[in-house]
Structure 1
Amino acid sequence: MQFSGFSVTDHYPNEPRTIRDFYGEILDEIVLAERLGFRNYFVAEHHFHEYGVVSSPTTLLAAAAGRTTTIGLGVAVSVLPFHNPLVVAQDYAMLDQLSDGRLAMGVGSGYLKHEFDGFNLGPWEKRARFDEAIEIIERAWTGEPFSYHGLYHHVQNTRIAITPIQQPPPTWVAVIRPEAAYYVGRQGRNLMLIPYATASTMDELRQTVQEYQRGRQEAGHEGPADVAAALHTYVGVNDASARAEAEPALDRYVDTRLYSRSKRRFDDLNAAELILIGGPETVAKRVMALADVGVNHLMLLGNFGAMNAKRCTESLERFAADVAPATL
């Protein structure tokens, strides 16, 4: 099992810390994650709402590149329908260069209506826009001239001057539905999941991973695949203290979500074991249960709901010291 840090970067209008302060906290957390030996640290891209205040992940991750040397710097995810794919290809290639080959690229098609409305796009366009964009990005990253003609994007004998050091950078595709996981598997790409928003039970999560593996098998893809899942994480001294310290932040987070299935509060998510909140022993058991489902890369969503930065730090340190070794 690989472990990475992750923040959706939710920030609330009435909280005392400013957005600038919050950016500083995230950068400090990335430095901490590197010190603790985490594989990557991911930040989300979001627009037009307190749901997430990083509209340009490359900007924040470029700042992180100057403070770190080994940790992967990830986006989860770049919402491809909102962008010109050649700009995405160049911007993230530049980040890979600045970080000496540490880009971790998550991509997705988007799911929030207010974001599509803000960009004057119809959600029905997203699948075709995504499929076109990811092909253009991957072809552009080779550094060779190419042409492409789709419904939404046209490229004529173009090459980008900035290519990634990694050829290619590791890439994950985020999905919500099992049928989308199957499609990603057939393509031979890595998978990214957010179980609290997409599954009601661990069995549903297992079914999604199985659909992904079925797609890979039917298409003849061999070798290991990275199945990443992002879960809210807080490791307390014990279960009772973890709940007391994390429940208000988790409920604040889910109460401001913009889609109904994700508005399950602590008791529901805890009963379904779709959060990693508890003492070290409880969290370690849930990590092992996720491994049994087929997840081999955990993205620890540990900075959420305006949680105190000191508590976020202590939780990550407990995870590294007490949980990760127990899952080996």
Structure 2
Amino acid sequence: MKFHLFMLPTVGRPQELQRGLAGLRDDLYQRTLTEIEEQARFADELGYYSLGFTEHHFHIEGFELSTNPIMLDAFVALRTNRIKVGQLATVLPAHHPLLVAEDIAILDQMTKGRMYVGFARGYQSRWVNTLGQPSGLGATASDKSDQDVRNRAAFEEAWHIIKLAWTEDTFSYDGQFWKVPPPDTTWDMPATQKWGRGADADGTLREIGIVPKPFQKPYPPVYAPFTFSATTARFWAREGGTPVVLADDVEFCKTLFQVYLEEAQGAGRDLKLGQGIAMGATLCLGETEKQAAKMREDFDWLFQSWFVPFGFPPGLVFQGTPEQVTGQIKQLHDALPFEELFLWINTGLFDHQVMMRQLELFATKVMPHFGPEAP
């Protein structure tokens, strides 16, 4: 089984966050970067498969201080040797798809393929509505509203453009939100006529291409956190992406797994149940039940303070000693034959040494029960 780490950095412990405006404090952010670096190095040594970051902006409160997951990926990749890095996720409706395609391709080249990508639609209105203004897009509540439908359409269009940019030398795209290239663009460059492609003899631009292309061919593995709908599962089943399911209702998960499998097989993909779809869970692991319970107490405070107001469900939590957490994962795996597990770890919220010990306990006491690390 592949064990991934999902790092959603909080820049302060609960008491520091409660003083207000923790996100504005340089001392807390510098401490967070140091903790990210040390935890990433340790995770690399311990054999975790990957480490990924979320994307959120303007969080002066100090929660989820991860404004640029691609840049944080580079920060970690330059300080580690083996562990893969990734995004959970880049929010496509808030960005120009070609800039996303370029940034990821550069990171893939810099790491020589030691990365994955993750894409999401964006649910936090403060920043998605602000950054999505050029395209008239906003956050989604997955409520089938006009804004939700428009957000999904823009998300899918952005993905198709990114995929073309990664796989085609040059291309064009005539979409609802993006015209690539814009109509009537003039590019009368002799160098393009001699050594390039995409412009007519009269200088009319017909196609463009990004450089560099990704190091991994045709492109890095694609993940979709966090999937709660059959519509999203079906989309990624057709497109070859891996949804990450962060839910604690096993029957719901079984249904989603089956929906994904049937759609993937209908698209010609040769998969078995549990392949191509991953599970996600929060980790509260301690040497004793008391230690794990204290971690859960802090996590519950975080969740009630920040995520519940968004309507975000708490999802699955593995809590307890190594023996207990091993049993919880085995029980879930018996019901759902998943091959990848993303562990939400609370960097910044928990004391650094508590985090380091948690990483060590899971790697040495839990992971060995689930076979060697996947290549």
Question: How many positions carry a matched residue from both structures?
Answer: 316
Shift of 1:305: 6.7
The one-letter code matched in structure 1 to 2:241 is R
Partner of 1:70: 82
The one-letter code matched in structure 1 to 2:349 is A
Tell which structure's C-alpha radius of gyration is larger.
2
Partner of 2:172: 147
Question: Structure 2 vs 1, CA of residues 258 and 46 (structure 1 numbering), >3 Å: closer, same or farther?
Answer: farther
Partner of 1:42: 52
The one-letter code matched in structure 2 to 1:202 is V
Question: Structure 2 vs 1, CA of residues 313 and 171 (structure 1 numbering), >3 Å: closer, same or farther?
Answer: same
Question: Structure 2 vs 1, CA of residues 20 and 253 (structure 1 numbering), >3 Å: closer, same or farther?
Answer: farther
Equivalent position to 2:111, from 90, 99, 103? 99
Higher strand share: 1
Question: Structure 2 vs 1, CA of residues 211 and 232 (structure 1 numbering), >3 Å: closer, same or farther?
Answer: same
Equivalent position to 2:344, from 277, 301, 321? 301
2:329 pairs with 1:281: no
- Segments of 5+ residues of structure 2 without an aligned counterpart are 141-146, 182-206
TM-score, normalised to structure 2's length?
0.78
Partner of 2:196: none
Partner of 1:204: 252
Shift of 1:62: 1.1
Partner of 2:279: 229
Q: Following the alignment from structure 2 to structure 1, what is the Cα–Cα distance between the partners of residues 98 and 328?
A: 40
2:211 pairs with 1:161: yes
2:240 pairs with 1:188: yes
Partner of 2:229: 177
Q: Please list the CA deviations of residues 193-237 of structure 1 after superposition, one character each: whole Å capped at 9, or x if unmatched.
A: 222xxx5x2222222222212211232311474322221112211
2:98 pairs with 1:86: yes
Partner of 1:291: 333
Secondary structure of the structure 2 residue equivalent to 1:176 = coil
Shift of 1:259: 4.2
Q: Following the alignment from structure 1 to structure 2, what is the Cα–Cα distance between the partners of residues 4 and 263?
A: 21
2:183 pairs with 1:133: no
Q: Following the alignment from structure 1 to structure 2, what is the Cα–Cα distance between the partners of residues 64 and 250?
A: 28
Partner of 1:22: 32
Alpha-carbon RMSD across the aligned residues, in angstroms, is 2.1
2:43 pairs with 1:33: yes
TM-score, normalised to structure 1's length?
0.89
Shift of 1:45: 0.7
Shift of 1:261: 4.1
- 1:217-256 to structure 2, matched below 5 A, reads 217-223=265-271, 225-256=275-306
Q: Please list the CA deviations of residues 76-112 of structure 1 after superposition, one character each: whole Å capped at 9, or x if unmatched.
A: 0010111111100110111111112112101111122
Secondary structure of the structure 2 residue equivalent to 1:158 = coil
2:4 pairs with 1:4: yes
Shift of 1:260: 5.0
Q: Following the alignment from structure 1 to structure 2, what is the Cα–Cα distance between the partners of residues 309 and 83?
A: 33
Is the contact between residue 254 and residue 263 of structure 1 (CA under 8 Å) also seen in structure 2?
no
Is the contact between residue 77 and residue 84 of structure 2 (CA under 8 Å) also seen in structure 1?
no
Shift of 1:19: 1.5
- Segments of 5+ residues of structure 1 without an aligned counterpart are none
Secondary structure of the structure 2 residue equivalent to 1:74 = strand
Q: Following the alignment from structure 1 to structure 2, what is the Cα–Cα distance between the partners of residues 235 and 48?
A: 30
Secondary structure of the structure 2 residue equivalent to 1:5 = strand
Q: Following the alignment from structure 1 to structure 2, what is the Cα–Cα distance between the partners of residues 238 and 207?
A: 35
Question: Structure 2 vs 1, CA of residues 10 and 177 (structure 1 numbering), >3 Å: closer, same or farther?
Answer: farther
